Amino acid sequence: MSQAETLTRKDVQRAAWYWIFFHHCAQNYERMMGVAFGSTLSKSLEKIYKNDKDGLANALSRNVTFFNTEPHLGSVIPGITLALEEKHALSPETVDAELIQSTKNSLMGPLAGIGDSLLIGTINPILLSIGIGMSTQGSPVGVIFFMISWLAVTLSIKYFFFMKGYDLGLDAVKMLADRRLKYIVTTALTIIGLIVIGGVAATTVKASVALSFISGEMTISIQEILDKIMPSILPLMVTLISYFLVAKKKWSTNKLLCAILIFSALMVILKVM
């Protein structure tokens, strides 16, 4: 073994930026994000194994294996791996190659689960719904708001988690494997997401009844009666029935799409809606 060099802060930062911009480059079904993962670490590995060609070859082939996670929260994994690789080069007996691999593999699953529900499933819809709310009158502010806020959230999360991952090294494994913390975070965000989506759906889904009975002087509008029970009770029913059909009756999206179109057309022809 040659003398291994330790990484400076700048090297880690460079790897972090590489991950931020290229975490999905050369993605394929065989290795998913494996190639991007390897290339993220490559510059640092080249520095670590400057005079050790075999070591570099091993380290690189170790890091282009199958890897798939949610890239934002998941950026903690290349950070941790970088720290472990550095330690491995310094003292192979404390951190062996097996440990690096298993750390990577055990973290990518849970982080993909948390990250997808947290960022893609919750924060993204929340930001989108705020943006859509701003743009209902046709103003472009909502679009700009979404682009800026989403980039601000993801870029800072990716950079922060990469650097934190490197700092924490093995400690991060313990922290993120804490089942209770993970449970709290995911449940809380599921609840927030559901309530907010309920609010967004209320302003987006529209349905009304045009039918009214006329008897002599008096006109009884069905819509007015429904509004007295609860405002927009009809769209809520439509949404819940759609959800029921998709989730419980296992209807395909296309089937429901056709059903809604036919139902709407029929109702309009019959002058009910």
Partner 1 sequence: MLPALGFAILLKQIVQESWMIVLFILGWVLMVSVSMTTTALVFVAIAVAVLFVLAKDQKGHVVESEGEGI
In the list 90, 99, 155, 205, the residue contacting partner 1 (rule: CB under 8 A) is 205
Amino acid letter, 230: M
Give strand pairing partners of 211: none
3: left (phi over 0), alpha (psi -120 to 50) or beta: beta
- Applying CB under 8 A, does 68 fall inside the site for partner 1? yes
Among residues 39, 40, 69, 81, which is the contact residue for partner 1, using CB under 8 A? 69
If residue 52 lies in a helix (H) or strand (E), which one and from where to where?
Answer: none
Contact residue for partner 1 among 143, 188, 210, 272 (CB under 8 A)? 188
Q: Which stretch binds partner 1 (CB under 8 A): 38-46, 165-173, 182-190, 213-221?
A: 182-190
The residue (of 90 and 126) whose beta carbon lies closer to partner 1 is 126
Binding mask 252-271 for partner 1 (x = CB under 8 A): -x--xx--xx-xx-------
Distance CA 184, CA 252 (A): 33
Q: Does 194 bind partner 1 (CB under 8 A)?
A: yes
The count of other CB atoms within 10 Å of the CB of residue 100 is 20
CB-nearer residue toward partner 1: 44 or 129: 129
Which helix (H) or strand (E) segment holds residue 214: the answer is: strand 212-215
> Which residue among 147, 240, 262, 266 contacts partner 1 (CB under 8 A)?
240
Query: Shortest approach of partner 1 to residue 184 CB, angstroms?
Result: 5
Tell me the residue type at 157.
I
Nearest to 203 by CA among 147, 137, 255, 121: 137
Residue ranges of alpha helices (H) inside the chain are: 9-22, 34-48, 53-63, 76-90, 97-115, 124-135, 141-168, 170-176, 179-204, 222-229, 233-243, 253-269
Distance CA 116, CA 70 (A): 6
Q: Determine the interface stretch with partner 1 among 22-30, 35-43, 153-161, 234-242 (rule: CB under 8 A).
A: 234-242
The answer to whether residue 211 forms part of the interface with partner 1 (CB under 8 A) is no
Applying CB under 8 A, which of residues 1, 144, 195, 262 lies at the interface with partner 1?
Answer: 195
The residues of the shown chain that bind partner 1, judged by CB under 8 A, are 68-69, 108-110, 112-113, 117, 121, 125-126, 129-130, 133, 179-180, 183-184, 187-207, 230-232, 235-236, 238-240, 242-243, 245-247, 253, 256-257, 260-261, 263-264
